[in-house]
Structure 1
Amino acid sequence: MISRSKWIGVGAIAFFTVSAFADVTPKVQPGYKAPRTEYGQPDLQGNWTNATLTPVERDPKYGDQLVIGDKDAKALEQENQDFRDEQNKPTDPSHGIEDLPKDCGGGFSGVNCGYNNFWVDPGSHLMSINGEKRTSIIVEPKNGRFPALTAQGQARLMQMYAAFRGPNGADGPEVRPLGERCILSFDSSAGPPMLPLLYNNNYQIVQTDDVVMIHVEMVHDVRMVRLNAQHGPSSVRKWLGDSIGRWEGDTLVIETTNFKKEQSFRGSSENMKVVERLTRVSPNQIVYSFTIEDPANYTAPFSGQLAFNATNEKIYEYACHEGNYALPGILAGAREQEKTAAKK
């Protein structure tokens, strides 16, 4: 398990220290040396996926246990496969909405069970790093869970939810979440941090001598990481923030600041800072680590780690607006409610 840690500031980066019982330092495959690009940089290029059954936050039943044994891991993976097989069974065509299950798993219930398992692809295995299966993506704090929100963070989160879930939540598209509006990926797929979702967990990395491009399949977001550069002024805010990178040996270090206030990671403020580290540890895996600092939102920094595994799958266009029937439906429904209320 992870030891009690101290946050150590080194330049603009925060690191976490761990005990030997759960060493989260990426371990390069014995005898492996990352290939070089034509510019002499470690080559991270290719298509990658971070799909995994490992949750961002650890189930409290595991306590401080970061690593899970192979037997227990296989049992969890089989349980997931059994669930998927059950959900993939054909639906009785005679069933109506009232016949749908009340809880169909994956956060879906009631009429949302119509968004069935055919459409989701979260992965089929727990994440494996350094040859060990993980119980959570978060590795620090030691309980694998997000730190508590500050009072300011709690107020911001409540205000955000009230904006689109309250009685005025469909006044206009501006109050709807960015994913619904096809502006950015849902949750934090493009990041930073780059976290897996229910589907489309694929990424393409392309490098030049002074830029690393990360193309995200979800909502076809593109992150441009400028190497050996300086952040722009804080008055210039960008979707996905302002990312600058540098090489520390074979590890790409990315620091991102200057987020737009509308882009929120679980209620984060626009002054959140994210430091990411990508290390290619074998021909088929990049270990991706991140640290988040946001004193206005969280009572402490926190860190996570993910495996990006090589995939032969292509990166497809996410034609978001072309299939975005929900947003006009939400707004049209609200206008109809207003007409009905006006007649009373």
Structure 2
Amino acid sequence: MNSRLLALALATSAIMVTAAAPAGAQTAPASVARGYKAPRNAFGQPDFSGVWSNATITRLERDPKYGDRATLTADEAKAIEGASDQRNARLRANTDTSNKDPDKLPECQSGATGAACGYNAFWTDPGTRLVRIGGVARTSILTAPANGRLPSRPTAAGARGRAQLGGNFDNPEARALGERCIVGFGGTSGPPMLPVLYNNHYQIQQTKDAVVIVVEMVHDARIVRLADTKHPPADMRVWMGDSIGHWEGDTLVVETTNLRREEGLRGPTENMKTIERFTRVSPEQILYQFEVVDPAAFSGPVKGEESLNFTKDKIYEYACHEGNYAMTGILAGAREAERTGKPIEGNRGQIKEEGGN
């Protein structure tokens, strides 16, 4: 059964490119696939229309063992992808129904174990290959700081990030946005747009004055205005922020402000701004670069690169509210824990969200 159809079942229930150096530069690629010229649409713009996927096993943050090394050797990439294929085959095997011990259930694709699994890897579609820029596999999506790790941030911003991931059981409004079916979990809705455990597809539609990015997860739709160059007042907060774009040659540059505190990269402050760059570099790929500007939350610049890969798959309906039985269970379980005096186990087994993290 096609894994995209499996992702649909789950939803109803709950670069080969030559680019700039990977040190975090956010300029357009120095060159694209040899001899390639991006097609134009009826408005004379580079044509980004279609369905694209950022599914990947590359992590948002780099494994510390790589230090400042941004790329992998061909042998390293082959070994990592091979191990991932083997793990997927193991995790997608039939669950041993004879095992009744919830603490000894198989590991899930997310990395959770035991009762926290909910479902095994048969139902997920996180991607199987590493991000490649200029034909070379990357050690992380983040390119800046040089170590590929999110820089330290003040305690207050960190607390907001932890709260955004859902650690309060008092009422529905205290839970994470994905649990509440408001926007997709993790960073899938953007900005920046980051891969998660499934439903990593985006459909791009263009008009003369706007670019619309339809996010498969929770049917989010980001509208990037091209004709309007003024953001609303700072006290007007919008889901996925207020996005204004312009063309720099063949690159679409998008600036987003006015994000709500509940969104953004790991719990931003209210003044977070993102700058995204979309460049079609071949018939099959768009180079996606982003920069997060939030001095109050991060002690240094945060930049990253991904590949959006063309797919003939369709965007499936994500019936989040219709199948959101988990919210009732979460709150009911908390009330029972309060009644009995047993501690709540918190977020044990919580989905490891962006880029396999």
Q: TM-score, normalised by structure 1?
A: 0.87
Say if 1:333 and 1:235 are closer, same or farther in 2 by CA, change over 3 A.
same
Say yes or no: does 1:261 pair with 2:261.
Answer: yes
Give the residue type in structure 1 aligned to 2:55: A
Give the residue type in structure 2 aligned to 1:296: A
Say yes or no: does 1:89 pair with 2:93.
Answer: yes
- Tell me what 2:41 maps to: 37
Give the 3-state SS of the residue equivalent to 1:271 in structure 2: coil
Cα separation, 1, equivalents of 2:306 and 2:189: 14
Alignment of 1:166-205 (within 5 A): 169-205=168-204
Alignment of 1:62-81 (within 5 A): 62-81=66-85
Moved more, 18-27 or 319-328: 18-27
- Tell me what 2:240 maps to: 240
Cα separation, 1, equivalents of 2:79 and 2:206: 40
Instruction: State the Cα distance separating 1:339 from its structure 2 match.
Output: 4.9
Say yes or no: does 1:153 pair with 2:157.
Answer: yes
Say if 1:46 and 1:105 are closer, same or farther in 2 by CA, change over 3 A.
closer
Cα separation, 2, equivalents of 1:216 and 1:21: 28
Give the residue type in structure 1 aligned to 2:170: D
CA deviations 1:237-286 (Å, max 9, x no partner) are: 10000000000000000000001223242121121000000000000000
Which among 108, 112, 115 is matched to residue 111 of structure 1? 115
Say if 1:154 and 1:335 are closer, same or farther in 2 by CA, change over 3 A.
closer
Which among 116, 130, 135 is matched to residue 131 of structure 1? 135
Instruction: State the Cα distance separating 1:330 from its structure 2 match.
Output: 1.2
Q: CA RMSD in A?
A: 2.1
Cα separation, 1, equivalents of 2:335 and 2:313: 42
Cα separation, 2, equivalents of 1:270 and 1:21: 28
CA deviations 1:94-152 (Å, max 9, x no partner) are: 22134634755632122123420111111111111111111100011111111111243
Higher normalized strand content (fraction of residues):
1
Conserved? CA contact 1:122–1:196, under 8 Å: yes
Conserved? CA contact 2:288–2:306, under 8 Å: yes
Instruction: State the Cα distance separating 1:67 from its structure 2 match.
Output: 1.1
Say if 1:112 and 1:32 are closer, same or farther in 2 by CA, change over 3 A.
same
Give the residue type in structure 2 aligned to 1:177: A
Say if 1:172 and 1:155 are closer, same or farther in 2 by CA, change over 3 A.
closer
Say if 1:102 and 1:139 are closer, same or farther in 2 by CA, change over 3 A.
same
Conserved? CA contact 1:264–1:270, under 8 Å: no
Cα separation, 2, equivalents of 1:260 and 1:123: 29
Say if 1:326 and 1:129 are closer, same or farther in 2 by CA, change over 3 A.
same
Alignment of 1:207-218 (within 5 A): 207-218=206-217
CA deviations 1:159-178 (Å, max 9, x no partner) are: 656xx42xxx2221111111
Moved more, 263-272 or 235-244: 263-272
Conserved? CA contact 1:178–1:185, under 8 Å: yes
Conserved? CA contact 2:192–2:264, under 8 Å: no
- Tell me what 1:286 maps to: 286
Cα separation, 2, equivalents of 1:174 and 1:114: 22
Give the residue type in structure 1 aligned to 2:235: S
Asked which structure has the greater CA Rg, the reply is 1
Cα separation, 2, equivalents of 1:154 and 1:339: 31
- Tell me what 2:318 maps to: 318
- Tell me what 2:14 maps to: none
- Structure 1 spans left out of the alignment, 5+ residues: 1-17
- Tell me what 1:52 maps to: 56
- Structure 2 spans left out of the alignment, 5+ residues: 1-19, 342-357
Q: TM-score, normalised by structure 2?
A: 0.84
Alignment of 1:301-340 (within 5 A): 301-339=301-339
Give the residue type in structure 1 aligned to 2:214: H
- Tell me what 1:100 maps to: 104
Conserved? CA contact 1:22–1:66, under 8 Å: no
Cα separation, 2, equivalents of 1:172 and 1:280: 44
- Tell me what 1:6 maps to: none
Cα separation, 1, equivalents of 2:124 and 2:48: 27
CA deviations 1:149-204 (Å, max 9, x no partner) are: 1243234345656xx42xxx222111111110000110110100000001110000
- Tell me what 2:270 maps to: 270
Moved more, 103-112 or 229-238: 103-112
Give the 3-state SS of the residue equivalent to 2:277 in structure 1: strand
Moved more, 108-117 or 213-222: 108-117
Conserved? CA contact 1:100–1:113, under 8 Å: no
